[in-house]
Amino acid sequence: MNMRNRRDDEARRAVAAAMRPERYDEALLNEMLRASRAAYRAHEARLPLRGWEFVLRQAGYIRKCWWLLQGAVLALLWLILRGGGSADYLRRCVGVLAPAFGMLALPELWKNRNCGALEVECAARFALRQVYAARLMLFGMVDLVWLSLFFTAASLGARVELEELIFQFLVPLNVTDCICFATLRARRFGSEGAALLLCGIWIAAWVLVVLDCGLYAAISTPAWCALLAVTALWMLRCAAALCKNCGENWEARPLWN
C-alpha cells in the first residue's frame, strides 16, 4: 500500500511539473507580438477595403426587418393623418409614433452588447467606432429616404401643413435618439430597458407639452426653428461621442486600432 501511495505521489508531481508553465523571455514575446501585428497589417494593406465596401458589408449584417418596421410606423402615421381628427389627437399621435420610429434602431445598436461580441470586434481589423459609425450612417440614410417619402405623402395626400409636421415629428425624434445614444455610452444603466424607460418618460412629457394649448400657441415659428436646430446639433454631438468613446466605456479594448 505504501509503495502504491509513493507511486501515486510521484505521478502527481510529474503531472504538476509537466503542466507548470516554462519560463519565457518577455522581451522576445513582445517582439514576436510586434512582428505578428506588423505582418498582419502588411498583408491587409495589399488588399485595401474601401470605405463604401466596408459600409456595404455592414449593411448586410443589419436585419432589414427594423427598416421595414420603421416604414410601417410612418405608414400608420400617414393613415392617421389622412383620416383627420382633432389637432390634439394628431399631435398626440405624432408625439408617440415619432419616438417609436427612432427607438426601432435600438436592437441593432445594442447588438454588440447583447451578443457579447465587443471583445471580438475590438480584436478585429476595423475599430468598434468604425462599426458604429457605419451603422449610424446606414440608419441615417434609410431614415432620410423614409422621412422624405412620408413628408411628401403627408403634405400632398393627407393635406397636413408640412412646417408644423416637421417640427412635431423631428424634435421628439431627435431627443429620443439622443437618449438612446447617451444610454448606450453609459457604463452603468446602459441597457435597452433603461433606454426604453427614459424614452417613455420623454414621450409622456412631450405629449403633455403639445397638448397644452396655451403653451403650444405661445411657441412661435422662430422658437420652433431654434428648438429643432438645438436638438439636431445635440443629436449629432451624441452620435459623434458614441463613435469616439464606445471602446473606452466598456471592458473591451481595441487591439489593432
Shared-domain flag, residues 133 and 44: no
Q: How far apart (Å, rounded) are the C-alpha atoms in residues 165 and 35?
A: 58
Q: How many CB atoms lie within 10 A of CB 176?
A: 26
- pLDDT, position 91: 78
Q: How many domains does the chain have?
A: 2
Residue range(s) defining the domain that contains residue 126: 54-245
Shared-domain flag, residues 161 and 119: yes
Shared-domain flag, residues 210 and 102: yes
Q: How far apart (Å, rounded) are the C-alpha atoms in residues 154 and 47?
A: 47
Dig out the grid coordinates for 15 from the structure.
Answer: 503531472
Angle between helices 162-185 and 192-211 (to 10 degrees): 150
The proportion of the chain whose per-residue pLDDT surpasses 90, expressed as a percent, equals 19
Residue whose cell numbers read 435600438: 106
pLDDT at 255 over 50: no
- Please tell me which of 63-67, 154-158, 211-215 the model is most confident about, judged by mean pLDDT: 63-67
For every residue of 181-218, DSSP letters joined together read: HHHHH-SSS-SHHHHHHHHHHHHHHHHHHHH-HHHHHH
pLDDT at 22 over 60: no
- pLDDT, position 69: 94
Asked if 105 contacts 183 with a C-beta cutoff of 8 angstroms, the reply is: no
Least confident of 56-60, 103-107, 138-142, 156-160: 156-160
Shared-domain flag, residues 225 and 169: yes
- pLDDT, position 160: 76
Taking only the tens place, the pLDDT of each residue in 127-169 is: 777 788 888 889 999 999 999 999 988 888 767 788 888 888 9
